[in-house]
Copies of this chain bind each other. A is one copy, B any other.
Amino acid sequence: MTKPTIKDIAAQSGVSIATVSRVLANKSGSYSEKTAAKILKIAKELGYRKNSAAVDLVKKGADVIALIINATPTNFSTQIIDGIQQRASELGQGVIILYAGNRDHALQHQAIITALGRSVSGILLAAIEPDEEDLTLLKESQIPFCFVSLYLGTAAILAVSSDNRDLAYQATQYLIDQGHTRIGLVGIDEYHTGSQRRIGYQEAMTANHLAPATVLPGDYSYEAGVRLLQAVKDQGLTAVLAASDMVAAGILTAAQQHKIRVPADLSIMSIDGTIICQITTPALTSVTQDFYQIGRQSVNKVMGQPALDFVPVKIVERASVVPPAD
């Protein structure tokens, strides 16, 4: 048998499809208990399931938020997704996730187009660096969108993230307070998040009359961390602020292979604070971001509710930072 429709239910229960629709849509007050019970019963028997394409078509828009996400943030994505899902559900919205590959521009663009085609009620872009084309597409679409864990530097575009400048400032200051002076910022990219962190780092260095600043660019990955250790050594740094837990883990592994003791010879401070920080030996001291909250706030924002722009971070002391040896 083919997939049942409200028509089938109407036929079997002896009422019109309008009534069936009302009951199934829970338009309370506009139908009697009795008919409702009958209809629900038959619907269940038939294994009826609403065709959301039809609903979306007539309602002009789905009660769904699209979340576009890429491969990079694997570490923290779960928490962000949890926050988004939870808040969305409170607001009666479903969530579909579109995967944009690993910084793959074509896929990323494709994902945006898909979301637009489904006329979702909002689009969330997690850790996505948009290009001009993406932005144009989004803006023209008339549907609200919000960047998550990425701040484009302008209030004109909705976004929820940690305050990256402040985050880097705090972390750097922490390292300085421990007595370090030769501190590097390692593994950040050249885009928004990276530049913001770089600024915070540099401000902290300058404020403490420390120079020159050492920035080693990378792509937030474990491999970048491994690769960058050599430069860290060459620069004679005693402490590094790693762009992500993964970068920190990479630096750590590489350091161990080179017989550099962490933290005795090199202190590592990580940005993110995911479970990765607990897994390594030594455990990584970190500036921990509140990804769950970032997720929740981004839903608020994209749904037009009051929301934070920046979610506070906190420093969690573990075992990878100690004062320099001298």
Residues of A participating in the B interface, judged by any CB pair closer than 8 Å: 3, 47, 49-54, 56-57, 62, 71, 74, 77-78, 81-82, 85, 94-99, 101-102, 107, 113-114, 116-119, 140-142, 222, 249, 252-253, 256, 275-276, 278-281, 283
- A116 neighbours in B (Cβ, 8 Å): 49
Cβ of A2 to closest chain B Cβ, rounded Å: 8
Q: Are A78 and B82 in contact (CB under 8 A)?
A: no
Q: Count the copies.
A: 2
- Which of A3, A118, A279: most chain B Cβ within 10 A? A279
- Which of A118, A141, A276: most chain B Cβ within 10 A? A118
Q: Are B280 and A51 in contact (CB under 8 A)?
A: no
A171 to B54, CA, bound (A): 51
Q: Are B119 and A51 in contact (CB under 8 A)?
A: yes
Q: Contact partner of A275 among B53, B81, B96, B222, CB < 8 A?
A: B222
19 further contact pairs, Cβ within 8 A, besides A53-B57, A74-B78, A253-B281: A3-B119, A51-B57, A51-B119, A52-B117, A53-B62, A53-B118, A53-B119, A74-B74, A82-B101, A82-B102, A94-B114, A97-B97, A97-B98, A249-B279, A253-B279, A279-B279, A279-B280, A280-B280, A281-B281
Cβ of A271 to closest chain B Cβ, rounded Å: 16
Q: List 16 A-B contacts (CB under 8 A).
A: A3-B142, A49-B116, A50-B117, A51-B57, A53-B56, A54-B57, A74-B74, A82-B101, A96-B97, A96-B98, A97-B97, A249-B279, A252-B279, A253-B279, A253-B281, A276-B279
